[in-house]
Structure 1
Amino acid sequence: MGALPFASLGIVTAVDLISGPDLGYLSLLAVGPAFASLVGGVRRTVLIGAVALFLSLLLALYSGVLGDRQSNMSLISIIGVTAASILATVGRQRRERELASVRSVAEVAQRVLLRPVPRRAGHLRAAVSYTSANAEARIGGDLYEVVTGPGGVRAIVGDVQGKGLEAVETAALVLGAFREAAHDEADLRGVSGRLEKALNRRLSGEEFVTAILVDADPCGRLTLLNYGHPPPLILRANGEITLAEPDDTAPPLGLASLEVEGPNPHQVDFASGDQILLYTDGVIEARDRSGRFYPLADRAFLLKDDDPEAALESLRLDLVAHVDAPLHDDAAMLLLRCRDN
Structure 2
Amino acid sequence: MVIVLVDLLTGAGLPWLPLMAAGPALAATTNGPRGVLCVGLFAAALCAALSTVSTVPGREPVAALCAVLAVTAASGLASELRGRRERVLAAVRSVAEAAQHALLKPVPETVGPFQVAVRYSAAAAEARIGGDLYALVPTPHGIRLIVGDVRGKGLPAVGTAALVLGVFREAAYDEPDLLAVVGRIERSLARNLGPDDFVTAVVVGCPRPGELEVVNCGHAPPLLISAAGDVEPVEPVRPAPPLGLRALSGEHPELHLLPFSNGDQILLYTDGVTEARDHEREFYPLAEGVARHVSEEPARTLAAVHADLLAHVGGRLHDDAALLLLRQSAGEPAGGEAREAGGAPDAGRDVAPARRGTSTAAATCPGGR
TM-score (norm 2): 0.66
Q: Which residue of 1 aligns with 2:83?
A: 93
1:3 corresponds in structure 2 to none
Q: Distance in 1 between matches of 2:3 and 2:237?
A: 66
> Following superposition of structure 1 onto structure 2, how do residues 175-194 of structure 1 map, counting pairs within 5 Å?
175-182=165-172, 183-184=174-175, 186-188=177-179, 190-194=180-184
Match of 1:138 in 2: 127
Contact 1:133–1:327 (Cα < 8 Å) also in 2: no
**Whole-Å Cα distance in 2 between the matches of residues 268 and 88 of structure 1?**
64
**Residues 76, 200 of structure 1: alpha-carbon distance in 2 compared, 3 angstrom cutoff:** farther
In the other structure, the counterpart of 2:355 is none
Q: Distance in 1 between matches of 2:4 and 2:191?
A: 62
Distance 2:234 2:78 in 1: 54
CA contact (8 A) 2:129 2:158 kept: yes
- Aligned twin of 1:316: 303
Aligned residue among 9, 18, 21 for 1:27: 18
Could you tell me which residue of structure 2 aligns to residue 38 of structure 1?
A: 29
What is the one-letter code of the residue matched to 2:12? G
Moved more, 326-335 or 101-110: 326-335
Q: Which amino acid aligns with 1:55?
A: L
CA–CA distance in structure 2, aligned partners of residues 16 and 234 of structure 1: 76
Name the amino acid aligned to 2:50: L
Alignment of 1:155-194 (within 5 A): 155-159=145-149, 161-163=152-154, 170-182=160-172, 183-184=174-175, 186-188=177-179, 190-194=180-184
Pairing 1:1-341 to 2, within 5 Å after superposition: 10=2, 14=6, 18=10, 20-21=12-13, 24-65=15-56, 68-113=58-103, 114=105, 116-117=107-108, 119-120=110-111, 125-130=114-119, 137-141=126-130, 142-147=132-137, 154-159=144-149, 161-163=152-154, 170-182=160-172, 183-184=174-175, 186-188=177-179, 190-203=180-193, 209-218=199-208, 220-227=211-218, 231-244=221-234, 253=243, 259=248, 265=254, 267=256, 269-272=258-261, 273-280=263-270, 296-300=286-290, 301-305=292-296, 310-313=297-300, 315-316=302-303, 319=306, 332-339=322-329, 341=333
SS of the residue 1:277 aligns to:
strand
Please tell me the residue identity of whatever aligns with 2:79. T
Number of equivalences = 321
TM-score (norm 1): 0.70
Q: Cα RMSD between the aligned structures?
A: 4.5
Distance 1:196 1:209 in 2: 9
Instruction: Quickly say closer, same or farther: Cα 1:107–1:13, change in 2 above 3 A.
Output: same
Question: Deviation per CA, 1:106-147, whole angstroms, max 9, x where unpaired?
Answer: 2223334415358335xx614133567799613414532235
In structure 2, relative to structure 1, the CA distance for the partners of 1:304 and 1:32 (3 Å cut) is same
Question: Using a 3 Å threshold, how does the CA distance of structure 1 residues 80 and 279 change in structure 2: closer, same or farther?
Answer: farther
Q: Relative to structure 1, is the Cα distance of residues 14 and 294 closer, same or farther in structure 2, using a 3 angstrom cutoff?
A: farther
Unaligned runs of 5+ in 1: 1-8
- Structure 1 residues 201, 29: CA separation in 2 closer, same or farther (over 3 Å shift)? farther
Change (3 A) 1:203 1:304: same
Higher helix proportion (structure 1 or 2): 1
Paired with 1:64 and 1:79, the residues of 2 have a C-alpha distance of 21
1:261-309 deviations in Å (ceiling 9; x for gaps) = 67855847333132112235666688999x999765444244422xxxx
In the alignment, is the contact (CA less than 8 A) between 1:284 and 1:293 conserved in 2? yes
Q: Show CA shifts across 1:142-182 (max 9, x none).
A: 53223566877642112455456x76654342122112333
Instruction: State how far apart, in whole Å, the 1-side matches of 2:59 and 2:241 are.
Output: 71
Contact persistence 2:298–2:325 (CA under 8 A): no
State the SS of the aligned residue for 2:99. helix
- Contact 2:264/2:328 (8 A) holds in 1: yes
Q: In the alignment, is the contact (CA less than 8 A) between 1:279 and 1:333 conserved in 2?
A: yes
Aligned amino acid, residue 108 of structure 1: A
User: 1:59/1:281 Cα in 2 relative to 1: closer, same or farther (>3 Å)?
Assistant: farther
Partner Cα distance (1:81, 1:155) in 2? 59
Report the identity percentage.
41
Q: Distance in 2 between matches of 1:11 and 1:254?
A: 67
- Check conservation: 1:156, 1:213, Cα contact below 8 A: yes
Report if aligned partners of 2:29, 2:79 keep a CA contact under 8 Å in 1.
Answer: yes
